[in-house]
Structure 1
Amino acid sequence: MAPLLTLFAQLEILDEFVAISKDLSTFSTNHESEGPFSTLDYSIMEAITGYPGYIVSRPKFYDLLLKQIPTSKILFGRRVINILEKESKVMVQTTDNRMFEGDILVGADGAYSTVRQGMYETLKQQGRLPKTDQEDLPFSCTCLVGQTRSLDPEMFPVLKEESSQYFLTLARDQPYSVAVFTTKQNTFAWMVLQHLEKATSKAAMEQQFKTNESTEWTNPHTATAMCDETRNIILPIVRAVCEDGGNTSNKTLTIRDLFDRTDKELISKVTLEEKIFTTWSAGRTVLLGDACHKLHPAAGQGAVNAMQDAVVLANLIYTLPSNSTSSITNMFKSYQDERMAPVQASYKTSQISSKIMTKGFSGAVVRFIFGHLPDWLWRLQLGAAARYAPSVGFLKKAESKRKGAVVPDISESAERARKLFEERRQVEVV
């Protein structure tokens, strides 16, 4: 989140964000029932960017963002079923048979984007869709995700720590790894990753189960089954328990202890797709976030890149000379041109980070390398990740906390928007 904090300051939500977050100082990796064999120091992020890295509960972060948007601007309970485009407008039809029209349609609707599917179907019929964009989204991991209820720090002492504690555990005899971190709300957020022997896709998986006359993939109890398979994995976390006579001792937790303290409706099984699409726009429609680039969550770059997409696109919309189709098409090209290189860099970082979570030889090599990185090289890597931090050119500049350790890259869209913003301010003054 560190590359986004200057943006949050511009949006005047930084203080609220910090209030619901915990800073991240270390990330430790261990084999089940053993001590940590690798610890990465994230405390140096503040020296690099002026801000520490933060861990935040996703629901709390959503609530913070939603508070900034007038309720009239958000419509719930509607799904897009049809997209129509004319020369001067784009229209969407929703499941309640309503039509909405505008100059631009932004598809920010996730990895299996309805907007992308509609746009790609049209391009495919026209013979304009690259072959790679017609291929299924691949994944080599499935994942259980959840977050416990708020717990008593006296019972779980690790929750008392000022900084978020982030643990990665590699299961001893199973193809699983477990990531757990603590939040400001005294909860444990957790992920259980199942590492598949080879990459597959949802379409291939569904076909396999259909051929085998199995309904496992679509069975609503699949998440429960995965919980049952992994419940005895031992975590490097202790719980204080009161024994007979009032004496207190410590008990090592298993992932079952977290399952049991998580509301069942908040446990989901998801697939961790990885792909960068080639085609991000067509006509008056453009894609954003997971809809055009799906990253493995290991490096925490998915949401960061989606928000950076939004910043760049907003800057370019601000400087749009007209709402003609040609102007919009050129703007979309500038958007993809600016974003593609940072997205590709984040994609590679996410792939490498995902190796830390895997078992086998390649995972062991990556963990060894990260565990023995010299301090200067670790700083260099974190600095490279934090260098790209586009700001909103049409909002008041936020006071920069960067102390020169890393000079941020120049964002062309932000520079253009800033120039126009200042010109308009001068006109207002005159």
Structure 2
Amino acid sequence: MEKSKFKAIIVGGSVAGQTLSLAFEKANIDYVLLEKHESFAPEVGASIGIFANGMRVLDQLGICNEIEARTEPLRAMSKRDGKGNEFDYNEILSKISDRHGYTINFMERKDLLSVMYAAQPNVSKLLCNKRVDSIEQGDNGVKVTTSDGSEYEGDIVVGADGVWSKVRQMMWNAMDADKSLPKDVAKDLAKDKTVLTCEYACVFGISYNVMSIPAGHNNLVFRHGSSFLILSGKNGTVYWFYFEKLDKKYAVPNIPRYTQEDAVKTCEKQLDAIIAENVTFRELWDNRKSAIKVALEEGVMRRWHYSRFVVLGDAAHKMTPNMGQGGNSAIESAAILSNCLKSALDKNNQQLNSKQIDECLSLYQAERRKRIKSVSTRAGDATRMEALDSMTKVIMARYIIPSLGEKLILKLIGDLLKEAPSLDFVDKPTRAHLVPYSDEKPKKKKSILGF
């Protein structure tokens, strides 16, 4: 009897999950995507910035132009101290497109998800109102049962369901029940259960009809113990973030949770803060569409897979948003997971046994974790620098970085972007750019001596 085609069950329909489903379509990998919300573009009051590393993959998936049509690229950056005095201004961001092919574009998260959903060639595989209730696995596959009693069978289950991932928790449960779990894996599991910590909280906001800040401007306000990040988009839409350091470092399971009332109380204390030239935070607050307060968890899991489970995005790596790399890193991870699965399936007649799945998922983690650790560390450093968390951070923020010069700053940005992966099985984007990406460079051939 002929075996059925390899199939993945994706849990979570946000950026990571929808990127993965679009990539699987290109790779001809069968899947079903289960989303717990009532739609694939829920109104959660959050925004997202798409940088060149994310846009490059989204370009391969055919949605780059639509994103650009809906957004205003960032061009200028202004930095201010706690009293509103500007201590640095540059237009370095306007050079990003020439160097890396894409501008930096901010938009509402729900709008990005709408663009992704509209691009899905087979929406019958994307199912809403499917909250995962249980996951069973065996030697030949997995079965996912949702709260409405529906059952879905496949070869692997992919947790793209956020920082408090249900799939990751069930993966941990399966690892706990495995009496033959290697000691090093068990040790990593114990650490993963406590890896998430939190030192900062953030109010994410979106305001409409704010015409006093020019479109395409990035405004940073550095203050002791807190900071503002203000990004102006099209038609007076402003995406803003207020960061504050907490009273102590929290760890799971004691990471704080906040209400809408908490967001209001926090922001009303900051109404007179100067956040741009002749603009106070009051103007954003009075014109707000949404404002939500959340804890900023940080942590990179040691184990991203076990048996037929695998996680990606915030379920595997959670970072602070100051560098705008959470969503972009999720897109990168989806690309690498797709590459690994496509390659493995092509080598094994479109079917994978348990051993081959483990090898494939191990390669995915190995290719991603080092880069993610580096990006996550840099994001955390940015959060602390903008909040002037130490004298070293003060000196870096106020004196060293402003004096680096455009050339060196562009190089530092390039060092982050040029290592970005793309889909191996789709033609590379044709956008002109001055700085080559690492996967565009010809691979060095080994000599007959082996090096």
Q: TM-score, normalised by structure 2?
A: 0.77
Is 1:147 aligned to residue 209 of structure 2? no
Aligned to 1:5: 55
1:169 maps to 221
For 2:384, the equivalent position in structure 1 comes to: 355
Q: Deviations over 1:102-153 (max 9, x none)?
A: 111110111111111111122134354323212151011111111113x16x
Q: Which amino acid aligns with 1:73?
A: K
Q: Aligned in 2, Cα 1:282/1:411: closer, same or farther, shift over 3 Å?
A: farther
Kept after mapping to 2: 8 A contact 1:177/1:358: yes
Name the counterpart of 1:46.
97
- Determine if contact 1:26/1:39 at 8 Å carries over to the other structure: yes
Question: How far is 1:228 from its partner?
Answer: 2.6
SS in 2 for 1:335: helix
2:158 is paired with a residue whose SS is: strand
- 1:285 lines up with 2:309 in the alignment: yes
Q: Distance in 2 between matches of 1:103 and 1:259?
A: 48
Higher Cα Rg, which structure = 1
Match of 1:307 in 2: 331
Conservation of the 8 A alpha-carbon contact between 1:352 and 1:366: no
- State how far apart, in whole Å, the 2-side matches of 1:303 and 1:4 are: 8
Tell me if structure 2 keeps the 8 A contact 1:390–1:411.
no
- Give ranges in structure 2 of 5+ residues lacking alignment: 1-50, 444-451
1:338-392 alpha-carbon deviations (Å, 9 max, x no partner): 1112212211221222233213424312202211113332122111111123222
Structure 2 match to 1:235: 275
Structure 1, 221-230 or 327-336: larger mean CA deviation: 221-230
CA contact (8 A) 2:197 2:249 kept: yes
- Which position in structure 2 is the counterpart of 1:422? none
Q: Give the letter aligned to residue 63 of structure 1.
A: S
User: Equivalent residue for 2:213?
Assistant: 158
Distance of aligned partners of 1:375 and 1:236 in 2 relative to their CA distance in 1, 3 Å threshold: closer
Give the distance between the partners of 1:411 and 1:134, measured in 2 at CA: 38
SS at match of 2:94: coil
Q: Does 1:366 align with 2:396?
A: yes
Tell me how far apart the structure 1 counterparts of residues 146 and 374 of structure 2 sit (CA, whole Å). Answer: 36
Deviation string 1:55-101 (CA, Å, 9 cap, x unpaired) is 33322222111111243222222321211101111111212122211
8 Å Cα contact 2:221/2:228 also seen in 1? yes
Q: Which residue of 1 aligns with 2:82?
A: 32
**Distance in structure 1 (CA, Å) of the matches to 2:172 and 2:231:** 38
Output the CA distance in 1 between the equivalents of 2:425 and 2:263. 45
- What is the aligned counterpart of 1:65 among 102, 106, 116? 116
Sort the Cα spacing of 1:185 and 1:110 in 2 relative to 1 into closer, same or farther, 3 A: farther
Aligned partners of 2:308, 2:110: CA distance in 1, in Å? 32
Contact 2:195-2:300 within 8 A present in 1 as well: no
Between 286-295 and 95-104, report the one with greater CA deviation.
Answer: 95-104
2:280 matched residue in structure 1: 254
Q: Tell me the CA shift for residue 233 of structure 1.
A: 2.1
* Aligned 1:69-218 pairs, distance under 5 A: 69=120, 70-126=122-178, 128-129=185-186, 130=188, 131-149=190-208, 151=209, 156-159=211-214, 161=215, 164-171=216-223, 175-201=225-251, 203-205=253-255, 217=257
Whether the 8 Å contact between 1:20 and 1:185 is mirrored in structure 2 is no
State how far apart, in whole Å, the 1-side matches of 2:408 and 2:292 are. Answer: 37
User: Corresponding residue for 2:415?
Assistant: 384
Q: Any stretches of 5+ residues in structure 1 without a counterpart?
A: 207-216, 238-251, 416-430
Identify if the C-alpha distance between structure 1 residues 297 and 218 changes in structure 2 by more than 3 Å, giving closer, same or farther.
closer
Provide the alpha-carbon RMSD of the alignment.
2.4
Residue 53 (structure 1) shift: 2.7
**Structure 2 CA distance for aligned equivalents of residues 328 and 186 of structure 1:** 49
Between the aligned partners of 2:259 and 2:227, the Cα distance in structure 1 is 23
- Kept in 1, the 8 Å contact 2:336–2:364? The answer is yes
Deviates more, 1:188-197 or 1:39-48: 39-48
Gap change, CA 1:145 and 1:388, over 3 Å in 2: same
For the 8 Å contact 1:17–1:61, the answer to whether it is kept is yes
Preserved contact between residue 206 and residue 239 of structure 2 (Cα < 8 Å):
yes
Distance 1:121 1:113 in 2: 13
Q: Report the AA paired with residue 223 of structure 1.
A: A
CA distance in 2, matches of 1:136, 1:7: 29
CA distance in 1, matches of 2:234, 2:260: 31
* Structure 2 Cα separation of the partners of residues 224 and 280 of structure 1: 37
Tell me how far 1:219 sits from its aligned partner: 4.9
Letter in 2 for 1:176: S
Give the equivalent residue in structure 1 for 2:296. 272
Q: Which one-letter code corresponds to 1:16 in the other structure?
A: E
Corresponding residue number in structure 2 for 1:409: 438
- AA aligned opposite 2:300: I
- In structure 2, how many angstroms separate the alpha carbons of the residues matched to 1:348 and 1:175? 19
Q: For 1:395, which of 426, 431, 439 is the aligned residue? A: 426
Contact 2:258 2:294 in 1 (8 A): no
How far apart, CA to CA, are the structure 2 residues paired with 1:358 and 1:303?
22
Call closer, same or farther: CA 1:200–1:25 in 2, change over 3 Å.
same
CA distance in 1, matches of 2:377, 2:323: 10
Number of positions where the alignment pairs a residue of Structure 1 with one of Structure 2: 377
Q: Name the CA distance, whole Å, in 2 between partners of 1:351 and 1:205.
A: 17
* Identity across matched positions, percent: 25
Native 8 Å contact 2:195 2:299 kept in 1: no
Cα shift at 1:318: 1.5
Kept in 1, the 8 Å contact 2:320–2:383? The answer is: yes
| Residue of structure 1 aligned with 2:361, choices 332, 350, 364 | 332
Alpha-carbon distance in structure 2 between the residues aligned to 1:6 and 1:220: 36
